[in-house]
Structure formats: C-alpha cells, structure tokens
Chains A and B, each alone.
Chain A
Amino acid sequence: MTVTTITDAELQPKDYASDQEVRWCPGCGDYAILKAVHKAMAEVGARRERTVVVSGIGCAARFPYYMSTYGFHTIHGRAPAIATGIKLANPELDVWVMTGDGDGLSIGGNHMLHVLRRNVDLQIVLFNNEIYGLTKGQYSPTSRRGTKSPSTPGGSVDYPVSACAFALGAGARFVARSVDTLQGHLVGVLQRAHAHRGASFVEVFQNCVVFNDGAFDNFTAKDGAADTQLHVEHGKPLIFGARRDRGLRLKPGKLEIEVVTLSEGGVTPADLLVHDQTNRGLAHLLVALEPPGFPVALGVIYCNPAPSFEALVHAQAGAAGTGRQPPDLAELLMTKEGTWTVR
C-alpha cells in the first residue's frame, strides 16, 4: 500500500481514488457516481483518515475499494448497522454508506428503515438501477411491474417500492435525488448531503448497461430532459420545461399536484407551488411524480435537520458521567444492601 503525505488542503478529486483498478462494466453508471463522490469530497475538503466508506453487497458495494479513505465492504444489506456501530464508537468519523436497490431496500430494508428513523449522522447513497446486477439480472424491489428477468420470465407482477417515499416514510430528515449522468447536479447534491447532520438519504438513478440499459431514458435522455426533470430548489417556484414555462400547482380543492403551463388559462407564476424543503407533505407529493404525466423531481426534496442519534446517545452517556472522576470498578461491585466480610 502506498503512503502519501499530501496535506488535506491540497487534495484533488483524484487523491480520493485508491490504487486499485476499478472493475465495473464499461459504461456503468457507477463510474460517474465514483467520480462525483471524489469531486464532492474534494469540494468539502474531506479528510481521508477521518472518512469511512461502508457498503453491503452488490455492484455499488465495491465502492470502498476505489476510495483512498478508510473503507469496509460488509455483507448484504447490513451496512447501515455496521455504520451505526462505527458512529457510536467514534462520532467524529465522517461515514458514508454506499448501497443499491437490492441491498438497501430488499435484504437490508429493515436496517434502512431504522437507520433513517434513528437519524444516525451518515451519508447514505442508494444507487438505484432497478435490477440485481452482480447476481446477473434478476428483478429488484424497485423494478417496474412487468420487468422480464431470469427470475421473472413472464414479467414481474409485484409493485415496486419508491426509494424516496420509503425514506420519507421512515422519517428521514434529508431526502435528495440525482442521476448518474448529471455530474454537476450530483456533486452538488452530495455536498448538501454531507453538510446535513443526521441521516442524509440520496437516491441516484444509475444506468445498468448490461441488465437494464436505458431504464431511465424516459426522463434522463438529453433531448427531453428539460421537459421530464424538475430540479427543485428551496424557496423557488416548482418550474420546468425547455422554455421554463411549465410548473406545478395544487389542484384546487384537492391534495394533488397538477402540471400547468404559464400564461395558459390565466396561470401566472404566483399560482405555482414554491419549494419548501422543510415541508414533509410536499416532499411526499414530489417524490411520487412520475413520467409520462409528470416530471421527475430531482435535487434536495426534503431537508429538516434534528439532532442525530449518536450525538444524543453520547450526550446522554456524557451526562451520566458528568462531574465524576472516572469511577472505580470496585465502587460498582460494592452494593449497599449485600456485602459481608469474612475474616
């Protein structure tokens, strides 16, 4: 292993790469995500010795090997549990969890639920390619109905889970979305996730070129992107379209969103919804939007910080020891009601 002596201030994106050859399929969206993480880390000046990247199993889970930070490639679905232990042991560490739709929402769904509701201070990046890649192409819990795969030759019949709706339902306080090919956007979202204290959940739509190529073309293809993507920004109207003339508003009298076109039927900018990243109800509505009737909402959809789990645990543990010298074990063993001396 090579030992480098670069000081943190000088770190460039490439300095976050390990010396290991990256072994994803040529053209895999994971390359772009890796690049974006390297960039985001350089942007935030992450210290490599304090950064830990934890993963489970799957294509995305190879991630730690390609980082020059500390890394732990664990077992299927359990990265949130291990990351929780790491943060409890040392809250100073900057911990990232890299997961996928199978790892994070199928085998590890329970841990994902609890790590989000507990609000452990982690950046959780879920690579959603709507397929099991490493095991050669079975449908996943995010696959759309009718997905034909080796295990569902007649098309899948079960309904998919929405990663962001799940995260919001679990009580996540930071929920964001991006796309592997939107490099600049993704770097920005990852920086926001890093800045958020508590569990930050980022879903990245990631193209699997081998088993599910083009799964997201309906909103990621360059030519139609402006009309199929809604880039949300806190405090700004929810507006999209190549001519920036379409927007979202609440359907009068209903808790439902509709797409409207400005200057049609008397719609003015004042009628449009303004994004409020602290509004959980709005976040639920936004993550449910799907083509073809709606654009896909991208960016920081929900951000409403609260004290993180490990901070609260340590505060409580610290309070229990406040004002005391490190106690003597002998004191613990002595009991008020039951010692006796034999001479």
Chain B
Amino acid sequence: MATTATSPARESRDSVVIRFAGDSGDGMQVTGGRFTIETALAGNDLTTFPDYPAEIRAPAGTTYGVSAFQIHFGAVDVMTPGDQVDVLVAMNPAALKVDLKDLRVGGTVVVDLGAFTERNLAKAGFTTNPLDDGSLAPYQVLKLDVTKLTLDAVKPSGLQSREAHRCRNMWALGLMLWMYGRDREATVGWLKQKFAGRPELVQANVAALNAGHAYGETAEMSEYGVGYTVRRAPVAPGVYRTVSGTEAIAWGLLAGLRAAGLERMIFAGYPITPASVLLHTLAGLARYGVITFQAEDEISAIGAAVGAAYAGALGVTSTSGPGMALKTEMLGLAIATELPLVVVDSQRAGPSTGMPTKAEQSDLLQAVHGRNADAPLVVLAAATATDCFDVAIEAVRLATKYMTPVILLSDAFLAHAAEPWRMPDLDRLPRFPVRFRTEPAGFHPFLRDAETLARPWARPGTPGLEHRIGGLEKDYDTGHISYDPENHARMTRARAEKIAGIANDIPPQSVALGADHGAVAVVGWGSTYGAIHQAVRRARQDGVDASHIHLRYLSPFPRNLGELLKRFDRVLVPELNTGQLVQLLRATYLVPAEGLNKVQGKPFKVSEIAEAIR
C-alpha cells in the first residue's frame, strides 16, 4: 500500500456538480455548507441547492427522510445548481434510491457500504442490493465502508458509538475535499468553534475529516480514478464571501434602513417555512437598529409592522404563501392609510400547505392582485441570492418614498441557495433620507406630494400634527372620512396613479443577454434567472436569435416593457407556476406571450428551457 502523499496527476474540469445525500440526521446540509465555503475560498464560482424534507426527523433510512445538498462550482460563470449531477455521495440506500436518477451516465457515485445493510435496503424499498444487481453499471461506483473507516479514525477520541457514527459526514467531506483539491483549514477552525467546550468532539470530527482526505491521497483511491482540479473563476477584483438569499435580504434591509436615515426597523414575523430563517437572521442584529418581534400569528405580525410604520419606524414582515393569504386584509389597510411597509414572501409550492420546503413562483398574482377592491402596491422580485441585497434596499426606498407597501418576492430556493458575493462598497450605496413632516401649517394627512403623490409621513410625537387615519375612505382635500362618490373615484385613481408613476422612478427594462429585438425574448422573473440565462446563452451559441429579459419590477412594470416585448417575434415566459407572469404580460400589453411552466417544487433545468427556445 502506498503511503506517499503524492497524488496521481489530477484531471482538469471546467465545472462540477456534486450532490451530498443522506438521511436527515446525517448532516448533509452541514457537509454541503462546508464544501461550499472551502470551494468559495478556492476561488470558484458556485451555486448551491439545499433540498431537504419538511419533516424534522423523518423515520431514519426512509426515502422521504432523505436530505440533499447540491453544489455546482466551476472555473466558469456558474448560474444554476446544475441540471445533472457528476458526483453523488449517497450515505445510505434511501439516498441512492432518491437521488440516483439525477446522476449523469458515467458519473461517480460514492456509497457507504456500511449503511447498505439488509434492514436499510428494505427501508429504502430495494428488493435486491443495487450494489450487486448491476443497476449501477452505467456509473462509476466507489464502494467505501465509510462507517467503519470513520469509527476507526475517531476511536482515540473515546466517543460513544452514536456520536462516533455521526462523524461519517466529516469523513465523506474530507474525501470530497481531497478529490477537488480543496483546503481543510477553514473547516477545522469551524469545528473548533462549533464544538468549543467539547474537545473530544473536535478531535473526532477533525480525525474523520483528515481520514477521509488521507484515504483519497493513498493508493487505495487510484483504482477508482484520480483527483480533479477546477481552476479559479475569472471574477472581478474585490472582497468576496458566500451569501444566501435570506442573508442578503436581511443585510439589504439593514442597508435600506440606513439609506433611509431611519433609526429603527421593527421586523415582525410568525414562524413559517421557509421564511423563518429571515426572522432568525435579524433576531441577532439588534445593535444594527432592528427589533424583531415573533407575533402570535401572521396577521399580528403584519399588524405590528403597520403600527411601527405609523409610529415612524421601518415596518417589515416576512412570510410564505399561506401566511401571505392571512396578511391580505392588513395589506389593504396599509394601502388605504398609505403607510410604508416591506413584506417579504418566500414563495413555496401550494396551494394551502402544499410542499413547504419546495420552491414555486406561484404567489405572483396574489402579490399583484390578491386583495379586496382596487388595491395597488409595489411588487419586486429578486433574481439571485446576491440580487436579494439590492432588491431589499430598493424595497425600502420605494416604500418610504411613495408611502406604500412593497412586496418582495423570494422563494424557497433563493432563501437557502448560496453564491459568492463581491461585497459592495457600502459608502457608495444609494441614500434616500426620509423627511418626516414636522410643519403644522397647512398639514392634513393626505396632502399629496405633487411629484410622487405620496402623502406626508407624520409621526406621533410631533406637536401640531395630531391626526386620525384609518381604513375608511378619506376626503382628498381634508383627509377626513368621506362617503362622497366622486371623491372615492378620485382617491381610487390617486392610489393607482401613485403606484403607476413609480415606473418613472425605476430603470427602464434592460436585456440581460442578447439584442433588444429579434426572434425570441425569454422573459423571466425571480430565481429562474440562472437557468434562463444559460439556456439563452446555449441557444445563441446554436445560432438562435434569442434574448434574455429578466424582470425585477412586477408592479408597476418598467415603462418601456411593452414596447420592448413587441420588438420580438416570440415571447417565451418560463415560470415555476402554471402561467402567471405570462397572464399579466398578455393582459397588459396584448402580446402573444407563451408560457413554459414547471410545478414540481424544483428549479428549471437549463435543458428544459433550452428545449423550449428551439
């Protein structure tokens, strides 16, 4: 057995997709997260896709308890989690059963032999052992007894078997880090911090990590193949970190708070998957001016945000589909009283409870139209994890400048997906200081700004501006209650014109890739950005005159959008719903837009869109 540290020559790859899959309790999300950090530190571009069950601990070994984490990384521009998996790490038979279908023919599957017991095979629904029955013939299979190798490696730490067993994920991580030539230092440091006060756990996990790595370095690996190198991606100079969509929204809101010159953000939420992470992220950031409030329900959460806005703070609430439905009436109040408010909706598959951890883009029509009566507001959508930062700032700008609720659409995929982020120069971010009304002379609460049509923001505590507002219709000229028919028509128009006018305060719609006219415009919004972009790129390489147009502003639309779409022969609208944006575009611009729709709780594959463009 060779003991030298010299590795065989490594093969070079432009990009690779790895999926770590195992039982919910196997630590696959942690493993994927650590691989992501080490990969980011190695300078690759990347996108991740955590995919886990809604059950916290589904029965061990079952297929519905499988938790997976996919990472696509490369020396090239990486924009999606990857259509097909190159390397599947399957920690048990159930993971193999669930995830093998996404492995490309010729791809590598790493299995833990120790987990392929008869009992586990039966739980996963295998009648024969896939390791022996030839069903893995199209793939390169690395059968390793990860369980035994881990237990041997951690023996010196003296852990009980249960805890020792849980180090398997670090062994697998160590092996994968070796396979792609990644460092381990950051992970060792992280383990020391995570298990501070439990030195035996630090020792065991580091031992498992190192053992997996060492296993790759020894000759034992050579029979299976070699290691790979993936060069650094050519990216703009700057300081980078990885960021998830949720983190980016949290920081964007804080940046927006500062840009608006407001002292305090009241962030009120009610626990709901996958939106709760935003509440958790902001809960620890009191010193940046945010007070978080876990309300008794979704209605109370948005109610507290509306109350906070009335009192002069930045009111923010966050939820997911079913919670949005509950917030509807309060959104109407915020529209009627014209108060600034930011509502973050992390969309998930529905209707009703649906599939809480799976992504969908099916709340668009709810966001744009889902209220009683004529109740216009602003709807924005973030395209990527890093875009979430900018969109959150923009949401705060529009809410405070126009005294309106703004719905920021994210989704279950964006919420958890991570990508490298070149940190912005915070000094160069936009500033849009709020000017509270203080002058009593001539004041009434619905006195509109001539340019923005926004009403004044008059905080309680300001002498001379005592006023009453509410959900009843107001007189245009005095702000008092009014049932006058002409006045109601005028106020309805004013509310609509205020939102429509925002089109003049946002950038005209640009084309993300391709010309501003041609054969086909592929129009998307939200987290489908990467898949559409790559599909359009592929189509263009194949000579198709295609362009990618991606909308951040869904209400109001950018002022040039209709005219832009009419310059294309065909408008294709891929969406993770049954056709919502396509309906809005057809209704608004009378363009013969066609939908491409997927509702499987999974992101688009590049190939699916590329197929439809042809």
B-binding residues in A (CB < 8 A): 1, 3, 18, 20, 48-52, 54-55, 64-65, 67-75, 78, 80-90, 92-93, 110-111, 113-114, 313-314, 316-317, 320-321, 324, 327-330, 332-335, 337-343
| Chain A residues with CB below 8 A from B40, complex form | 338, 340
Q: A1-B479, A85-B293, A332-B254 are in contact. List 8 more A-B contacts (CB 8 A).
A: A49-B462, A70-B468, A73-B472, A78-B299, A89-B313, A329-B288, A333-B251, A338-B37
Residue B226 interfacial (CB < 8 Å) = no
B288-A90 in contact (CB<8A)? no
Closest to A331 in B: B288
Contact of A339 among B239, B268, B332 (CB under 8 A): B239
B471 adjacent to chain A (CB < 8 Å):
yes
Q: Is B506 among interface residues, defined by CB-CB distance under 8 A?
A: no
The reply on B304 being an interface residue by CB < 8 A is yes
Residues of B within 8 A of A92 (CB): 461
B333, CB-defined interface residue at 8 Å: yes
B300 beta carbon closer than 8 Å to chain A: yes
With A and B bound together, what is the CA distance between A335 and B266 in angstroms?
A: 25
Closest residue of chain A to B36 (Cβ to Cβ) is A338
Q: Is the CB of B426 within 8 A of A85?
A: no
Q: Residue of B at shortest CB range from A78? A: B303
Across the interface, do B308 and A317 meet the contact criterion of CB distance under 8 Å?
no
Q: Among A18, A70, A329, A334, which residue has the most Cβ atoms of chain B within 10 A?
A: A70
Determine whether the beta carbon of A82 is less than 8 Å from that of B304: yes
- Find chain B residues with CB under 8 A from A113 CB: 296
Whether B25 sits at the interface, judged by CB under 8 Å, is no
Does B138 sit within 8 A of A, measured CB to CB?
no
Residue of A nearest to B389 (CB): A333
Q: How far is the CA of A71 from the CA of B255 in the complex (A)?
A: 31
For chain B, residues 287 to 305, give those with C-beta under 8 angstroms from any C-beta of chain A: 287-288, 291, 293, 295-297, 299-301, 303-305
The reply to whether A84 and B304 form a contact with Cβ atoms under 8 Å apart is yes
Q: Which of A82, A314, A324, A330 contacts B310 (CB 8 A)?
A: A82
A70: which B residues are within 8 A, CB to CB?
460, 466-468
CB distance B311 to A78 under 8 Å? no
Distance between Cα atoms of A30 and B255 in the complex (Å): 47
CB of B481 within 8 Å of the partner chain: yes
Q: In the complex, what distance in Å separates the CA atom of A52 from the CA atom of B295? A: 21
| Central interface residue in B235, B293, B300, B444, by most chain A CB within 10 Å | B300
**Cβ–Cβ < 8 Å partners of A333 in chain B:** 241, 251, 423, 426
Q: Which residue of A lies closest to B293 (CB)?
A: A88
Taking CB atoms, residues of chain A closer than 8 Å to B255 are 329
Q: In angstroms, how far is the closest chain A Cβ from the Cβ of B35?
A: 12
The docked-state distance in angstroms from the alpha carbon of A52 to that of B466 is 9
Q: How far is the CA of A18 from the CA of B467 in the complex (A)?
A: 9
Q: Is the CB of A49 within 8 A of B471?
A: no
Query: Is the beta-carbon distance between A340 and B41 smaller than 8 angstroms?
Result: yes
Contact A317/B291 with A84-B304, A85-B306, A85-B308 known, Cβ cut-off 8 Å: yes
Q: Whole-angstrom distance between the alpha carbons of A28 and B584 in the complex?
A: 50
Contacts of A67 in B (CB 8 A): 468
Interchain CA distance A229-B600 in the complex, whole Å: 66
| B478 and A82 contact, CB distance less than 8 A | no
User: How many pairs, one residue from A and one from B, have CB atoms within 8 Å of each other in the complex?
Assistant: 211
A341 engages B300 (CB within 8 Å): no
15 sample A-B contacts, Cβ–Cβ < 8 Å, listed by A number = A49-B463, A49-B465, A69-B466, A71-B470, A72-B470, A73-B471, A74-B303, A74-B306, A85-B268, A86-B308, A88-B307, A89-B308, A89-B315, A329-B258, A342-B43
Residues of B within 8 A of A64 (CB): 468, 470
Of all chain A residues, the one with the shortest Cβ separation from B296 is A114
The closest CB in chain A to the CB of B460 belongs to A70
Asked if residues B470 and A90 are in contact (CB atoms below 8 Å), the reply is no
Residue of B nearest to A310 (CB): B291
Q: Check if B464 is an interface residue, CB within 8 A of chain A.
A: yes
In whole angstroms, how far apart are the Cα atoms of A339 and B332 in the complex?
Answer: 43
Q: How far is the CB of B237 from chain A (nearest CB, A)?
A: 5
Which residues on the B side are within 8 Å of A338 (C-beta)?
37, 40-41, 186, 241-242
Q: Let me know if B494 is at the binding interface, CB within 8 A.
A: no
- Cα separation A82 to B306 with both chains bound (whole Å): 6
A49 with B464, Cβ < 8 A, contacts A84-B293, A85-B268, A339-B240 known: yes
Contact among B43, B303, B440, B462 for A81, CB-based, below 8 A: B303
Q: Is the CB of A18 within 8 A of B311?
A: no
Return the chain B residue nearest A328 by Cβ: B426
- List residues 270-285 of chain B with CB under 8 A from any CB of chain A: 285
Is there contact, CB below 8 Å, between B236 and A342? yes
Q: Given the known A-B contacts A75-B333, A332-B254, A338-B186, are A81 and B304 also in contact in the complex, defined by CB atoms under 8 Å?
A: yes
- Is there a chain A Cβ closer than 8 Å to B516's Cβ? no
Query: CB-CB < 8 A to A51: which residues of B?
Result: 460
Q: Report yes or no: B426 in contact with A329, Cβ–Cβ below 8 A.
A: yes
CB pair B238 A329 closer than 8 Å? no
In the bound complex, do residue A81 and residue B240 qualify as a contact, i.e. CB atoms below 8 Å apart? Answer: no
B-side contacts of A90, CB under 8 Å: 311-313, 459-461
Cα–Cα, bound, A68→B466 (Å): 7
Most buried by B among A67, A114, A324, A332: A332
Residue of B nearest to A327 (CB): B287
Return chain A residues, CB-CB under 8 Å to B422.
342
Residue of B nearest to A68 (CB): B466
Q: Is B189 an interface residue (CB 8 A)?
A: yes
Q: Which 5 pairs of residues, A with B, have the shortest CB-CB distance?
A: A85-B307, A73-B470, A81-B303, A85-B304, A82-B307
Known: A75-B330, A75-B333, A110-B296. A1 touches B467 (CB 8 A): yes
Considering only residues 197-243 of chain B, those with a C-beta below 8 Å from chain A are: 235-242
**B264 lies within 8 A of chain A by Cβ:** yes
Query: A111 touching B426 by the CB < 8 A rule?
Result: no
Q: Which residues of A contact B441 (CB under 8 A)?
A: 3
Contacts of A339 in B (CB 8 A): 239-241, 423
Chain A neighbourhood of B461, CB < 8 A:
49-50, 90, 92-93
Chain A residues whose C-beta falls within 8 Å of the C-beta of B189 in the assembled complex: 337
| B470 A324 Cβ-Cβ under 8 A | no
With CB as the reference atom, state the residue of chain A lying closest to B336: A75
B266 touches A89 (CB 8 A): yes
Question: Given the interface contacts A81-B295, A84-B293, A321-B286, does A50 sit within 8 Å of B460 by beta carbon?
Answer: yes
Contact B440 A3 (CB under 8 A): yes
Q: Are B300 and A111 in contact (CB under 8 A)?
A: yes
Instruction: Name the A residues within 8 Å of B296 (CB-CB).
Output: 110-111, 113-114
Of B236, B471, B478, most A-chain CB atoms within 10 Å: B471
User: How far, in whole Å, are A320 and B286 apart by their CA atoms in the complex?
Assistant: 6
- The verdict on B469 contacting chain A, using a C-beta distance below 8 Å, is yes
Residue of B nearest to A91 (CB): B311
Known: A338-B37, A338-B40, A342-B235. A81 touches B464 (CB 8 A): no
What are the residues of chain B within 8 A of A52 when measuring CB–CB?
311, 460
Residues of B with C-beta under 8 A to A334: 241, 423
* Contact indicator A340/B285 (Cβ below 8 Å): no
Q: How far is the CA of A313 from the CA of B351 in the complex (A)?
A: 36
- Which chain A positions have C-beta within 8 A of B545? none
